[in-house]
Amino acid sequence: PSVAEIERQIDEDWNKLEPVIEKHNATRQELAAKRKQADALAKRIKPLQVQVDQAMDKVGALAARAYKGENLSTVNAMLGSRSPSELMGQLELLDRFAQTQQKDVQQVAQLRDELVRQKEPLDTLVAQLTRTEAQLAAKKKQINAEIDRLQKLRIKVYGNGGGGPLRPAPCPATYPGGAAGVAVKFACAQIGKPYVWGADGPSSFDCSGLTQYAWKAAGVSLTHFTGAQWREGTPVDRADLRPGDLVFFYSDLHHVGMYVGKGLIVHASRAGVPVKMAR
Q: Which residues are catalytic?
A: 207, 255, 267
Q: What are phi and psi of 171, to 5 degrees?
A: -130, 120
Edge to edge, the sheet with strand 255-261 lists: 246-249, 255-261, 264-267, 276-278
Q: Tell me the residue ranges of DSSP E strands in the chain.
A: 246-249, 255-261, 264-267, 276-278
Tell me if 277 sits within 8 A of 168, measured CB to CB: yes
Q: Tell me the residue ranges of DSSP E strands in 184-272.
A: 246-249, 255-261, 264-267
Tell me if 225 sits within 8 A of 208, measured CB to CB: yes
Single-letter amino acid, residue 71: N
How far apart are alpha carbons 123 and 116 in whole angstroms?
10
User: Can you spell out the DSSP letters for 6-25?
Assistant: HHHHHHHHHHHHHHHHHHHH
List of residues 6+ apart from 26 with CB closer than 8 A: 225, 227, 228
Quick count: other Cβ atoms within 10 Å of Cβ 224? 22
Q: From residue 60, how far is each of 43, 52, 95, 103 by CA, in Å?
A: 26, 12, 20, 14
